[in-house]
Amino acid sequence: MVILALAAVVFLLLVAVGIPIVFAMGLSGILGLIVGNFDLVKLPSSIIAGADSFVMLAIPSFIFAGTLMERCGMSYQLITLARALVGWMRGGLGMTTVAAEYLFSGISGSSVADVSAIGAMLTPPMIKAGYKPEHAVSIVASATGIGILVPPAVFMIVVGTLTNTSIVGIFLGGFIPALTMSAILMACIYWQATRFHWPTDARPSLKVFLSALRGALIPLFVPIVMLVGFRFGIFTATEAGAIISFYAVVVALLVYRNVSFREMLRVAEDSALMSAAVVLLMGVATVYQFLLGMAGVPQAVGQMLLSLGGGPFVFLIVAAIIVAFFGMIMEGLPAAMILVPVLFPAAKIVGIDPIHFSIVLTAAVGVGLFMPPIGVGLLIALRFGNLSVAQLAPHYWPYAVALLLGLLAIIGVPELTLLLPQSAGLVR
């Protein structure tokens, strides 16, 4: 335990002085190996073992496809459809943000990309329509916190790899929980809209709606194909990544024609760099997993959580709080690398389904990313309203409560997560 404490202190110090998390984890992990008198050959072998997963091939494919489709402008089409669907309701622009985030997450796969795209496109119209900047930013941030549950999400692939759980099962498990959290957040927005008399759009005619639907068919193809393909076992997550990447290239070259071949190569290069960063992080985190295992931390944490009693519900609440806190201060992937190997063995003892466990952790990370005072996603959203955390916090609490209620619903009703995986034969 002394070795782990020393490694953790060094890690925090390195992060505090601005060292990237992956290098901070690597250096502190090396220190732990040296102090523990372990063979340093464990470092390269751990990195190779952490990166040696066939399903990881899906990560660069989804990143490339999502980035390329965003460059094409598909998000604008989805926002137009979302506005036609819910914009005519009280608080319709806010609800449009939630609906657009659900649709857009299905092609982006990245919470950072979501908050940047949705925030840039919908914060100004909301402010212009009479929403206070504090409310506009709160809506963007809380809506984007849900997006991580809509596949394809890189976080889901990483958690599935760490828990040796079907990625397809986790992808299918995310659709209904994301809808549930979206509905709760929309109810919150409606309540706020009636309080502050936010405006509504005119109800669209059938012609306008059909035009919006027709324009959104190209980006909607991605989540629909994934849902159908995974539900009927047509392809795996890795194969889905390749199919969607090919589709994105065809659409960019033959339909939108607004992305040059050189720009496409630049997108591929950026995707490769982002994928390499994820793979390196997983490899370096394996060293920490080794140190944790040697110190018996998973067993100790498991016994502590099991001693709380209350069964799976209490266990998942405590786990979600821990994960949300870590996700808030150090982003989702590093938090998963450290916590999943500690929490998952105990979850299996309690009898929690691995897919349900993975979705709860995914939702908790999404909530943590957008929680004040230092949630990374929230800090990105703030810049669209030129606000500080202190200015936002008094207005953000209803939306934060909505996210937490959604998380509790996912924890308390496992059927929300397991319905689609069970229908596909992925849950016994």
Q: Please report the DSSP string for 326-383 in residue order.
A: HHHHH-HHHHHHHHHHHHHHHHHHHT--HHHHHHHHHHHHHHHHT-TTT-HHHHHHHT
Please check the confidence at residue 169 and state whether its pLDDT lies above 80: yes
Instruction: Specify the DSSP element, H or E, that contains 20.
Output: none
The token pair at 201 is: 């759009």
Instruction: Tell me what percent of the residues of the chain surpass a pLDDT of 90.
Output: 22
Contact (Cβ atoms closer than 8 angstroms) between residue 409 and residue 165:
no
Phi, psi (degrees; rounded to nearest 5) at 318? -65, -45
Instruction: Give Cβ neighbours of residue 238 (< 8 Å, ≥ 6 apart).
Output: 54, 55, 57, 58, 61
Question: Which has the minimum average pLDDT: 42-51, 71-80, 175-184?
Answer: 42-51
Q: Is 197 exposed, middle or buried (0-12, 13-18, 19+ CB in 10 A)?
A: exposed
- 350 Cβ contact partners less than 8 Å away, ≥ 6 residues apart: 305, 306, 311, 312, 315
Identify the CA nearest to 381 among candidates 184, 144, 155.
144
The full set of domain ranges for the chain reads 20-423
Q: Report pLDDT for 330.
A: 67
Lowest mean pLDDT among 156-170, 290-304, 354-368, 369-383: 290-304
Comparing C-alpha atoms, which of 416, 425, 424 is closest to residue 174? 416
Give me the sign of the Cα torsion angle 357, 220, 367, 277. positive
Residue listed under structure tokens 């989702």:
332
| Angstrom distance (rounded) from CA 411 to CA 428 | 19
Torsional sign, CA 73, 74, 77, 83: negative
Mean pLDDT of all residues in 148-168: 88
Residues 6 or more apart whose CB falls under 8 angstroms from that of 176 comprise 416, 417, 419, 420
> How high is the mean pLDDT of the chain?
84
Give the model's confidence band at 180: pLDDT under 50 very low, under 70 low, under 90 confident, else very high.
very high
Tokens of 152: 């394809």
369-415 confidence digits (pLDDT tens):
888 877 777 888 888 888 888 889 889 999 999 999 999 999 999 99
- How far apart, in whole angstroms, are the C-alpha atoms of residue 97 and residue 119? 9
Whether pLDDT at 48 is above 80:
no
The whole-angstrom separation of Cα 395 and Cα 399 is: 8
Q: State residue 190's pLDDT score.
A: 94
Whole-angstrom Cα distance, residue 25 to residue 15?
Answer: 9
Rounded Cα distance, 51 and 58, in Å: 13
Which range has the top average pLDDT, 18-32, 35-49, 52-66, 352-366? 352-366
Q: For 53-62, 187-196, 315-324, which range has the lowest pLDDT when averaged over its residues?
A: 53-62
Contacts of 334 (CB under 8 A, 6+ apart): 21, 22, 25, 281, 285, 326
Residues in the chain: 428
The rounded distance, in Å, linking the Cα atoms of 185 and 53 is: 36
Residue 251 per-residue DSSP state: H
Rounded to whole angstroms, the Cα distance separating 177 from 171 reads 11
Q: Which two tokens stand for residue 34?
A: 């040296």
